[in-house]
Structure 1
Amino acid sequence: MGGLRELAAPFVAPGPSGVAVRDRLKHLTDEDEKVLRLVGGHLGALASRDLKARCTAGLEHDTEQWAERKRALTEESSSRWAGSITKATHDQWALARRGQLAHIQSLEAGVNAITHRLSLPVGEKGSKKAPGGYRTRQEWHAKSRRLHLLADRLDATRADREAGVVHVVRGGKHLLNNRHNLQAAQLTEAEWRQRWQAERRFLQADGESGKRFGNETIRVTPDGEVSLKLPAPFMHLANAPHGRYVLAARVVFAHRGEQWRDRVTTNRAVAYRIHEDVLRERWYLTASWTIPPVQTVPLAAASAGGLVGVDTNADHLAAWRLDTHGNPVGKPLRFGYDLSGTSSHRDAQVRHALIRLLHWAKRHHLTIAIEDLDFQAEKTREKHGRRKGFRKLISGMPVSRLRARLVSMAAELGIAIVAVDPAYTSRWGAQHWQKPLTSKKRTTTRHDAAAVAIGRRALGYPVWRRTAPPPAHRSDEQGHRAVQAAPGTLGREGSRPRIPGPRTRSMRAGRGANAGDQDAQHRSGRAAEHEFWQQDSLPLSL
């Protein structure tokens, strides 16, 4: 097994660090929507200008420049609006830097893959660990040109990162590109403009503990009244004292409503964001706050009552319950979902599948073991080449979203999540568990066997099944044991270790010959022991 990579130890996944709830702003008047669009557009313009200033500063930015930017924004809004804008700007710049680093790593992987394949003869077959050469001379020539293209992109991106240059679009790059091809996006110019303006508005404010209801900029009272502090140029639109505008809508958070109400009643910080859904023609209010980190239970305590191993696939979750000894219990389970259609439909499908899984685990008081998957390095076309179907398959699996949702939803139900290394679970599960768990009344799939392998790894057991007991005699008619040593394993041909006690029922302790002596083996033409021995005519059991 020298060619296998080292496996990471399983661990209990930490819980979420924050929560967010959303409710619709119903019954808004035309005046309310007008004020929201005016204020959001004005603050969005300030946010765009501040983002430009931050990107221009690059790596030379310091606290003095931050303070200067905030003072400039305060003159046209307020100190709290300016603080929210500068914080959002820094978060967006940091996100762009992380995305830039991920892009560099992707380009490096593509350059290395093409370089390796170009160095091989045309038509040479690859292995499971490394791809082979390109199939034809035409493909080799096309990839050699692509190598220069990726190398140029890599050099330019590295230069940008060293200089602190990032490329950010407020409103989204995808929506920006739709403007150049409205027919393909099935949009008119007016519809695109409406979406663009909605995405670039800024109506979000960070919370402040100790202030009234946890937020002075966007305030929501315990009975659901929503008001916001107007920027300086729009003070004449105020309909409440102290330059505030009160919306006609009332919010009621159905999910986590009691937690939110407890926070605002005690004046603890709650952040709010108001945004418009242009397609639905609706306005929403999102409330978010941080929570103390949940103390994770030790791995031994989490798996003390058994667990359920879960294998993530493109269209379903395969699950199988295991006892504390790593043995499959009951029947395999399947929680399906459909990842076709819109993003909201896919998200709902994943959420419903996780709800069914979590409720089943809650009823049986079980911990959930799942693979710690990450397909970021597996999606490049340079690695898989013509295997477009496989690339599409792994790209469509909602690994990150499923993992985040599972941890968050499990924390609410008090269910621990154990993350395990995904290496070889499908291969070894099919090799050691698929056939033994298949019967006339039950067909075990490769995914079901992988779920067993995942559960055993989370419990600390090897994926391989237990070695079968030795046969009744040493002839070869009964075949080999279930698990054999690999041909290259050192010591596989050596002597068996000396075990104290009688080797047969006819010998007393300490009287048997050494196991390494050929005279001690049951072979034709050689004595079984040094002393003369003859089989008794009566059975030994009497």
Structure 2
Amino acid sequence: MGEVRSIEAPFVVSGPSGVAVRTRLKGLSPGDEKVLRLAGGHLGSLASKDLRARCRDGLAHSGQAWAVRKRELTPASSSRWAGSITKGTHDQWALARRCQSAHIQNLEAGIRTIEARLALPVGQKGNKKAPGGYRSRREWHAKSRRLRVLGDRLAAARADRKAGIVHVVCGGKRLARSRHHLEEAGLTESACRGRWEAERWFFQADGESGKRYGNETIRISPDGEVSIKLPAPLAYLANAPHGRYVLTGQVAFAHRGGDWADRVAANRAIAYRIHLDTGRGRWYVTASWQIPPTPTVPIEAALAHGVIGVDMNADLPHARLRSRGGTPTAAWRLDTHGNPTGSPRRFSYDLTGTAQHRDAQVRHALTRLLHWAKTCGVKAIAVGDLDFAAEKTREKHGRRTRFRQLISGMPTARLRARLASMADAMGIAIIAVDPAYTSRWGAQHWKKPLTSTTRMTTRHDAAAVAIGRRAQGHPIRRRTTPPPHDRSDRAGHRTVQARPGVPGREEPRPRIPGPRTRSVRAGCGANAGNQNAQHRPGRSAEPETWQQDSLPLGL
């Protein structure tokens, strides 16, 4: 076995710092929809122009340039609309920079893999830790050409990052490309055009504490009345004083409606976003606000009632769930001593379909997991701090397309965010642990002992136990039990389970007076701890020729 890398210490994940709830805008008249489309299209064009100006400034951007852009947008909209647009532009540019950095890391990982495989002889076998050489001279030649292509892309990406250049498509690059492949996307030309325009609209406004109902631009009263401050060029469409338009429909927030109503009544800041779902033809409004993060409890207090270890790998061999497109998540409850109790549980979610469907599936699975934890009385859930940022490259996994699709489809970031937010609302702590070797050691040390005639323990059930034990500070690898034979040489070293800090953990077992079995006489184990008293090669158990007798020779 090679050198084991250092394992990071587990930690309690901090709670969410914000809340976002969404509801449907019902009862809209044709006039309301016309005003919303005109306002969204006008503000979207201003946002696109501002984003182009921000990308042109690059790294030379400053607070003064930000103020200049805002002053230029104010006559065509309003002061508050201009502030929301410039802030959204700044966030979009920062997101593009982070994506650019991730793209550079992905290219570097692919180049390292290709260079390592090109240096190996053709046809050399690989192992679990590193891939071998390429299978044929043809593949070797193709990969050498691809290495040059990736090198050129990396050089261009590094040059763009150094110069502060980012490439952003308002509405999304995927939707822009689907225009040329309408049949594959399952869209008509008119539907694609409508979706493209809706994605490029801008209809979000930041809140402001102290103002009426917490937002002067998009205002929602406690009874659900929605009024919008129209941009200056569209002021002629107003049906209320001060250039405002009141929608005929009303809204009601079912989830966290009480929290929203309290903030509205106290005139605290609430940000709103209005958007259109072109597939369903429905309008939605999203309300979001900041909350003080929940104080993080000590990890010892969180583990006082045990822990539930969760393995979020997506390749459980469950035929029925796999045939239906389900992705099971393995979970097992551990007591305070690190012992698995009860039976493992599996919570499946479907990763096929639309993004809204996948998000709903993740919420349902996490809800069942949290309700089970609440029923068990456990106050902590341990999860592996997974990150597949450098594991999705085609260069690392080659022809294993199904495995690449598997790890690419795992919503690790969404699972972490959803689980932390939902667990915080239920008073359950989330403990993140280092996932290194959890699947390997779990299968090696816990799969067989936890398998019985009535329970088939999978590799990921054992990994859940390993994750839970690592969160509790217990070692994952189990020490061997006493051998079943009369001599330890036949079944391995005679040891007992003990923590690393226990004194004398490597010493022989203490001698218990009296017979341990019917076939063993009392006193047979008196010399168990004296290695010289055993009949072993190289030991001084028998008198040698050079040893002197204990009695004088003259007697």
Structure 2 length normalisation: TM-score?
A: 0.88
Instruction: Tell me if 1:452 matches 2:465.
Output: yes
Tell me which amino acid in the other structure corresponds to 1:386: R
1:326 to 338, 350, 358: 338
Report how far residue 443 of structure 1 moved.
1.3
Question: Residues of 1 paired with 2:409 and 2:495: CA distance?
Answer: 38
- Following superposition of structure 1 onto structure 2, how do residues 177-256 of structure 1 map, counting pairs within 5 Å? 177-256=177-256
CA distance change for structure 1 residues 239 and 106 in 2, over 3 Å: closer, same or farther? same
Question: Residues of 1 paired with 2:279 and 2:407: CA distance?
Answer: 30
Q: Which residue of 1 aligns with 2:25?
A: 25
Question: Residues of 1 paired with 2:200 and 2:273: CA distance?
Answer: 13
Question: Residues of 1 paired with 2:505 and 2:458: CA distance?
Answer: 38
Q: Deviations over 1:106-143 (max 9, x none)?
A: 00111111111111110111222221110100000000
- Following superposition of structure 1 onto structure 2, how do residues 121-520 of structure 1 map, counting pairs within 5 Å? 121-314=121-314, 315-366=327-378, 367-469=380-482, 474=487, 476-481=489-494, 519-520=532-533
Structure 2 residues not aligned, in runs of 5+: 315-326, 498-503, 516-525, 550-555
Question: Residues of 2 paired with 1:479 and 1:464: CA distance?
Answer: 16
Question: Residues of 2 paired with 1:8 and 1:528: CA distance?
Answer: 51
**8 Å CA contact retained: 1:277, 1:283:** yes
Report how far residue 364 of structure 1 moved.
1.4
Question: Residues of 2 paired with 1:499 and 1:189: CA distance?
Answer: 79
- 2:425 is paired with a residue whose SS is helix
CA distance change for structure 1 residues 435 and 375 in 2, over 3 Å: closer, same or farther? same
Question: Residues of 2 paired with 1:240 and 1:425: CA distance?
Answer: 62
CA distance change for structure 1 residues 158 and 479 in 2, over 3 Å: closer, same or farther? closer
**8 Å CA contact retained: 1:497, 1:515:** no
CA distance change for structure 1 residues 117 and 267 in 2, over 3 Å: closer, same or farther? same
Report how far residue 182 of structure 1 moved.
2.3
Report how far residue 468 of structure 1 moved.
2.2
Question: Residues of 2 paired with 1:325 and 1:103: CA distance?
Answer: 44
Question: Residues of 2 paired with 1:118 and 1:271: CA distance?
Answer: 53
**8 Å CA contact retained: 1:106, 1:377:** yes
**8 Å CA contact retained: 1:515, 1:521:** no
Question: Residues of 1 paired with 2:264 and 2:148: CA distance?
Answer: 58
Report how far residue 520 of structure 1 moved.
2.7
CA distance change for structure 1 residues 390 and 210 in 2, over 3 Å: closer, same or farther? same
Question: Residues of 2 paired with 1:181 and 1:478: CA distance?
Answer: 65
Q: Deviations over 1:439-467 (max 9, x none)?
A: 11111111111111111111100001244
**8 Å CA contact retained: 1:519, 1:528:** no
**8 Å CA contact retained: 2:482, 2:496:** no
**8 Å CA contact retained: 2:466, 2:476:** yes
- Following superposition of structure 1 onto structure 2, how do residues 68-87 of structure 1 map, counting pairs within 5 Å? 68-87=68-87
Name the stretch that deviates more: 175-184 or 115-124: 175-184
**8 Å CA contact retained: 2:93, 2:166:** yes
Question: Residues of 2 paired with 1:443 and 1:227: CA distance?
Answer: 59
Report how far residue 505 of structure 1 moved.
8.3
Question: Residues of 2 paired with 1:446 and 1:499: CA distance?
Answer: 33
Report how far residue 328 of structure 1 moved.
0.7
Question: Residues of 1 paired with 2:347 and 2:509: CA distance?
Answer: 52
**8 Å CA contact retained: 2:495, 2:506:** no
Question: Residues of 2 paired with 1:74 and 1:143: CA distance?
Answer: 53
Tell me which amino acid in the other structure corresponds to 1:43: L
Tell me which amino acid in the other structure corresponds to 2:24: R
Report how far residue 481 of structure 1 moved.
4.4
CA distance change for structure 1 residues 498 and 394 in 2, over 3 Å: closer, same or farther? closer
Question: Residues of 1 paired with 2:505 and 2:291: CA distance?
Answer: 58
Q: Which residue of 1 aligns with 2:501?
A: none
Count of aligned residue pairs for this structure pair:
515
**8 Å CA contact retained: 1:498, 1:514:** no
- 2:390 is paired with a residue whose SS is helix
Question: Residues of 2 paired with 1:11 and 1:335: CA distance?
Answer: 24
Name the stretch that deviates more: 4-13 or 174-183: 174-183
Report how far residue 346 of structure 1 moved.
2.0
**8 Å CA contact retained: 2:383, 2:431:** yes
Q: Which residue of 2 aligns with 1:112?
A: 112
Report how far residue 480 of structure 1 moved.
4.0
Tell me which amino acid in the other structure corresponds to 1:327: N
Question: Residues of 2 paired with 1:428 and 1:521: CA distance?
Answer: 35
Structure 1 length normalisation: TM-score?
A: 0.90
CA distance change for structure 1 residues 519 and 466 in 2, over 3 Å: closer, same or farther? closer
Question: Residues of 2 paired with 1:528 and 1:260: CA distance?
Answer: 87
Q: Deviations over 1:366-423 (max 9, x none)?
A: 1111111111111111011111121122112221111111111111111111111111
**8 Å CA contact retained: 2:495, 2:508:** no
- 1:418 is paired with a residue whose SS is strand
